[in-house]
Every structure is written in structure tokens, then in C-alpha cells.
Structure 1
Amino acid sequence: MEKLGSYFLDDFETVEKTVIFNMTKRHLLLIPSMVLIVLSMAVIFFFELPDLLAYLIGGVFAPPVLIYGLSLDRTVKAQEKIRFALMVQERTYQTEYRKDREYQINEFIQKKNIKETDSF
């Protein structure tokens, strides 16, 4: 079972609007951040500093910037699957229950002359 309930289209007001040159705020944050990360890694390699610094900068700062800048946080469904698995699910079902009818004690007891193997 993939998903319970209805599928609703995204609200148009949540779609990000372009700011400059047909780019959103996320893109405007992505480009300078990635340029800064690449330049800092180039400086580390140019001055022959330990490679561990470059790996830390690339491994710590690049993934969050890429995830936010490319809007991958909206497309990843892992958060929704985890939330669905941890959600307390309470389901109610509508039945044809009539309060005006009262059942007798022997109403659900099978009669002696009727057997389960009888033909209808």
C-alpha cells in the first residue's frame, strides 16, 4: 500500500517566484555558495594544505547547499514515508447500525434442522 487518502495538487502560492534572471531565491543562494566552496577547495589544494580540509568543506557544506538550492528537499519522499510509518492511524467505518432494532438472545444461534453443508 503506497498511500492512503486522496492526492491533492500543490498549492500555487507555495511555488517559488523568480527574483532576477528567471532564478528563484534558492538558485541565488546556490550559485554563490557553490562558487565559494569550489574556490575554498581550490585554495586548499593550491597552498598544499591537508586534503582532509577540502574533504570536510566539500562533505559538510556542499550537500546541504545542493539539497536546498536544487529544491531536492521538496521532491524527496523519504520524509513522507517516515511520517506515515510513525503516524498513529485511527480509522472509522460507517455501518448500517440501527438503534431501534433489538436482538434476541437466540437470534444468532443456528437452528437444529439447518446444517452448514445444506444446499441453498
Structure 2
Amino acid sequence: MSVFSKIISGEIPAYKVAESVDFLAFLDIGPLAEGHVLVIPKKEVDYLFDLEDELYTGLQLFAKIVATALKAAIPCKKVGVAVIGLEVPHAHIHLIPMNRVDDMNFARPKLSFTPEELEATAEKIKAALREE
């Protein structure tokens, strides 16, 4: 069972920003920027391109909804999208607020936020989702 499946089941806490029957979006705890979100299918599949077509397209549409709210909640030029897929064997999409290309550099040191800061960021994104 992947760490993401443990988040889905509630075994591991997460700063959730959006959830549907099939998908979950939550803050990355080792973010590259404030508001760095991971979007996952609830079905545990290791490789993004192994998802069934309907689940794959649903994940992309769910990510688009979250990205729109993320951009409204965290001032940035664009929300970058990345799929790395090596660190956790569960398909996931990174959504990262960015103002310059280097904001998407995964070799950069990760940022650290307090639980209170993470909760406040999650609430800003959830509020932006409610406004849509």
C-alpha cells in the first residue's frame, strides 16, 4: 500500500484541498512553493499512463479544477504541471504555483512550512474552490 493510499484511507493525515469519489488533492509536505499540490486517483496505480482512459481523463479534469482554484488562492503567473512518478508508486500530478521556470526545479531544496501555515494555505485553496 502506497503512502498516498494511506492518506486516502485516513491512516496518514494530509492537508486536503479537494476530493471527489475518484480523486484527491492535498498539499505536498515537501513543497517547491507555497500551495504545491499533489493530485491523485484514489485507485492505486503506479504509472500515470497505466490508468484506464476514463480515470486518466478524469484525473486531468480534476487537476484543472484544482489548478484554477490554486491560481486564484496563491498569486502566481501560472500553475506548473509536472509528472515525475519515481518517488511514490502511485500516479500523481504536481501542481506548483510559479512565477519563473526555476520554480519547477525539483533539484532545489524543498521548503518547510509550519502545520498552521499549511492549514492556512489549504483553507485558501478550498475557499477559492467554493467561489467557482
Structure with more contact order per residue of length (Cα contacts < 8 Å, sep ≥ 6): 2
> Could you say which structure has the higher helix fraction?
1
TM-score for the superposition, normalised by structure 2: 0.22
Higher CA-based Rg: 1
TM-score (norm 1): 0.23
